[in-house]
Structure 1
Amino acid sequence: MAYSNFTLRKAKEELNLTFLEEGRFLPKTEPITLSPYLAKFLAQSIPLAIALVIELGSR
């Protein structure tokens, strides 16, 4: 099936797929506390990553 002709409905019919849309895909987990190192790393890295995405998207 060419990508331009792809739809979930057609794939489901042609490939005889079954979709399970009930319940959770991943088990429920408890939140954890970030380590100081990871918190610092994310605080420094996320603004840079966002700036790069914005810069590359505006070209």
Structure 2
Amino acid sequence: MDTTGLVWRKSSRSGSGGNDNCVEVAFPSPQVAVRDSKNPPGPRLAFSAPAWRRFVRR
């Protein structure tokens, strides 16, 4: 998946004060991209939209 130009979002509940132990998500249709906020250029995962919805619901 090409993630160039994606807008990455971090949860508003991720905390502040240097607490960057979070994931960031982007929504390039029809997939959802996920990356580690501590290592933005590092590996990324891609999930189908239905798989992401199931994950978030649980």
Q: TM-score, normalised by structure 2?
A: 0.22
Higher strand residue share: 2
Work out which structure has the larger RCO, using CA pairs closer than 8 Å and 6 or more positions apart in sequence. Answer: 2
State which structure, 1 or 2, has the greater radius of gyration over its C-alpha atoms.
1
Q: TM-score, normalised by structure 1?
A: 0.22
Higher helix residue share: 1
